[in-house]
């Protein structure tokens, strides 16, 4: 069960209108509850986030996690959000003026699904922060939309900007024996979420290194081989300390995606 968390009043003006939601939620209640539960359970309880940490949110969207963190980070803590969807960055910059320790930046990275006009390839992108700048960073639903070459570059950048002893919390769709057995049962179904609400990724590439639900727009959803992901953590100098497997492939957990917590040695 989640622990008690020190919180102050959270600004309810930090909820975008429904037409600006692009983070998998469809209304204000979902937006606030999803952000708060992820911060409480995965960042604070599992990851050990401290109120004084300097935090990087890679894929900050329109502030779903940032909103919850305004009630947790103290005057010593700070937050940087990096996002490829410009309208999310613009909205946050307009509404977080009262929080001087919260900053949002646009990364004009190409994505066939989220930013088709992007000018920079994810495989070549360098985070706009100096080495060892952050105590804590997280990526929620980013590598589930990224191909292996791009993901490797992001891992390199994660290792660069995270301080020794720092923590990374990252979500995935992980391909292992359980999830592959699940997908094999759905091999005759199209990709995506079916009428039963279950996720299918029928298109396999590179001898099972990754799978997608739509090869025309592969970044729409990507599952990665777990052993390959674990190798990337090791090569980046990150030691995995916890894995929570999500319910995307019929597991008994409230979280959809698989969540990995790691610390930099």
CA atoms in the 13 A half-sphere facing the CB of 22: 17
Closest CA to 206 of 197, 215, 217, 198: 215
Structure token pair of residue 143: 């590598």
* Dihedral of alpha carbons 219, 223, 224, 230, sign: positive
Q: 190: exposed, middle or buried (C-beta count within 10 Å: 0-12, 13-18, 19+)?
A: exposed
* 2-36 tens-digit pLDDT: 455 554 445 678 999 988 898 888 898 999 999 99
The backbone region for 194, taken as left when phi is positive above 0, alpha when psi lies in -120 to 50, beta otherwise, is beta
Which of 66-80, 98-112, 156-170, 190-204 is predicted least confidently? 190-204
Average pLDDT, the chain: 92
* 185-203 tens-digit pLDDT: 988 888 998 877 789 999 9
Q: Which domains does the chain have, with CATH numbers?
A: 23-174+225-264 (3.40.50.150)
């Amino acid at each position: 069960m989640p622990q008690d968390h020190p919180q102050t009043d959270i600004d309810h003006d930090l909820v975008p209108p429904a037409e600006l939601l692009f983070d998998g939620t469809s209304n204000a209640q979902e937006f606030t509850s999803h952000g708060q539960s992820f911060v409480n359970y995965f960042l604070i309880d599992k990851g050990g986030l401290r109120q004084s940490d300097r935090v990087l949110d890679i894929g900050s969207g329109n502030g779903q996690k940032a909103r919850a963190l305004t009630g947790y980070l103290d005057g010593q803590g700070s937050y940087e959000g990096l996002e490829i969807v410009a309208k999310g960055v613009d909205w946050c910059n307009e509404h977080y003026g009262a929080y001087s320790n919260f900053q949002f930046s646009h990364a004009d990275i190409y994505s066939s699904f989220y930013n088709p006009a992007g000018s920079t390839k994810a495989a070549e992108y360098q985070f706009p922060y100096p080495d060892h700048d952050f105590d804590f960073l997280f990526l929620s639903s980013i590598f589930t939309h990224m191909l292996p070459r791009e993901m490797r570059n992001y891992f390199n950048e994660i290792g660069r900007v995270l301080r020794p002893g720092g923590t990374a919390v990252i979500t995935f769709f992980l391909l292992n024996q359980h999830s592959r057995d699940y997908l094999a049962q759905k091999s005759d179904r199209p990709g995506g979420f079916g009428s039963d609400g279950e996720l299918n990724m029928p298109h396999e590439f590179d001898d099972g290194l990754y799978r997608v639900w739509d090869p025309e727009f592969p970044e729409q959803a990507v599952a990665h081989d777990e052993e390959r992901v674990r190798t990337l953590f090791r090569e980046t100098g990150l030691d995995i300390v916890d894995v929570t497997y999500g319910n995307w492939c019929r597991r008994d957990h409230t979280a959809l995606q698989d969540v990995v917590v790691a610390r930099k040695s």
